[in-house]
Structure 1
Amino acid sequence: MTKESARKRLQDFYFLLFTFGSGLFYFCFYLVSITFALGMTVIFVGIPLLACVLRTTHTFVQYERIQTKVYTDISIEPILTRTNSGRDKWMKAREAILNSSNWRAVFWLMQKFFIGVISLICAVILYIAPLVIIVTPILFQHLDIYLWGFAVDSWEKAICVMLAGCILVWINTRIGNSLVQIVGMYTHSMFKAIKR
């Protein structure tokens, strides 16, 4: 494995972890803040709060665009920033709340949580599990290890498992890169949906 391919594998692994982390953040942030803002609309505090929450979508989708470019090399056209007109705060809040692209962005960003969970599972299976399988000859002497339905209790089995782990590392490099490209295409689709 060359230094460049090892760096690419590590970069793909980081991107899958970032996908989980950002998806979890977006889901929790919008679920809690929108629910709280809607609950506070009874005393009119929630309307400007909801408008502020919806204005964050532009920042977050731009962050997603940058992350996708850095990790997947997929270029996405930026969404133009909105100009602040001289209208009063209630008109600005009304405009932010009634802007359908803000709500579409919230939907796509919250949906990223589910993609993030899948990314986390795949990151563990594709990048961590093969490395653990490779060190089986060291671990089987100290731990009871069961892989693929049989106990690893001899050097012969441990070496076979280690070789299988090396093969998995080679195969998972291609699968991991494809998965990262799929997540990048999700961000591309999100931008197309928001711009409509």
Structure 2
Amino acid sequence: MTKEAAQKSLQDFYFLLFTFGSGLFYFCFYLASITFALVMTVIFVGIPLLASVLRTTHTFVQYERIQTKVYTDISIEPILPRTKSGEDKWIEAKETILNSNNWRAIFWLMQKFFIGVISLICAVILYVAPLVFIVTPLLFQYLEIYLLGVTVNSWKESICVMIAGGILSWIRTCIGNSLVQIIGKYTISMFKAIKG
């Protein structure tokens, strides 16, 4: 594997981990903050709080655009921020809450959690497991290694696991970058949906 290919593989691995991390953050942040804001609307504190939460969508969507550009080299036109009208704060809050683009952005950002879980699983299977499998012949003498309920305690078994690691490494080179590009296309779809 060349130096450039190794760097690209490491970059793809980072992107899959970032996808999981950001998806988990969006899901927890919006679930907790919207629920709290809706509960607090009883005493009217929740309305400006909900509007503030909805205003964060622009920042997070732009972050997704930048991450996609950095890791996948896919360029996406930015969504321009809404200019403040200078009206009454309650009218601005109402406009923000009734703006369907904000709710669409939240839907797409929260949905990224499920894509992130798949990304984490793929990162472990395609990037971490092959390394562990390849070094199994060096480790089985010192550690108890179990793979799919089978104990790896002989050279024959460890060599078979090492070969499986080599096969997984080859699969990673074939589909690793494609997986990252698919996630990049998800961001494109998100931007199209938000723009309407």
The whole-number CA distance in structure 2 between the counterparts of 1:53 and 1:182 is 28
Bigger shift: 47-56 or 79-88? 79-88
Instruction: Provide the residue aligned with 1:54 in structure 2.
Output: 54
* Cα distance in 2 for residues equivalent to 1:19 and 1:179: 12
Distance in structure 1 (CA, Å) of the matches to 2:182 and 2:55: 27
Q: TM-score, normalised by structure 2?
A: 0.95
Tell me what 2:167 maps to: 167
Q: CA deviation at 1:190?
A: 0.4
Aligned to 1:32: 32
Q: Share of identical aligned residues, percent? A: 82
Q: Which residue of 2 aligns with 1:189?
A: 189
Task: Tell me the alpha carbon deviations over residues 22-57 of structure 1, each in whole angstroms, 9 at most, x when there is no partner.
Answer: 000000100010000011111110000000000000
Deviation at 1:149, TM superposition (A): 6.4
User: Over residues 137-171 of structure 1, what are the superposed CA-to-partner deviations in whole Å (9 max), with x where a residue is unaligned?
Assistant: 11111223343665433223323322331232122
Q: Which position in structure 1 is the counterpart of 2:112? A: 112
TM-score by length of 1: 0.95
- Partners of 2:137 and 2:27 lie apart in 1 by 41
Partner-residue secondary structure (3-state), 2:87: coil
Does residue 1:19 correspond to 2:19, yes or no?
A: yes
> In structure 2, how many angstroms separate the alpha carbons of the residues matched to 1:180 and 1:189?
14
User: Per the alignment, in what secondary structure is the counterpart of residue 104 of structure 1?
Assistant: helix
The 10-residue stretch of structure 1 (149-158 or 119-128) with the greater mean CA deviation from structure 2: 149-158
For 1:86, the equivalent position in structure 2 comes to 86
In structure 2, give the amino acid aligned to 1:170.
W
Moved more, 26-35 or 174-183: 174-183
Distance 1:9 1:2 in 2: 11
Tell me the equivalent position of 1:125: 125
User: Aligned to 2:49, what secondary structure does the other structure show?
Assistant: helix
Deviates more, 1:98-107 or 1:169-178: 169-178
Note the residue ranges of structure 2 that are not aligned, 5 or more in a row.
Answer: none
- The alpha carbon displacement at 1:174 in A equals 2.0
In the TM superposition, what are the counterparts of 1:64-103 in structure 2 within 5 Å? 64-103=64-103
- How many matched pairs? 196
The match for 2:153 is 153
Q: What's the RMSD between the two structures over aligned residues? A: 1.3
Q: Which 5+ residue runs of structure 1 have no aligned equivalent? A: none
Higher deviation after alignment, 162-171 or 35-44:
162-171
Structure 1 pair 133/97, CA: closer, same or farther in 2 (3 Å)? same
Deviation of 1:178 (Å): 1.1
AA aligned to 1:58 is H
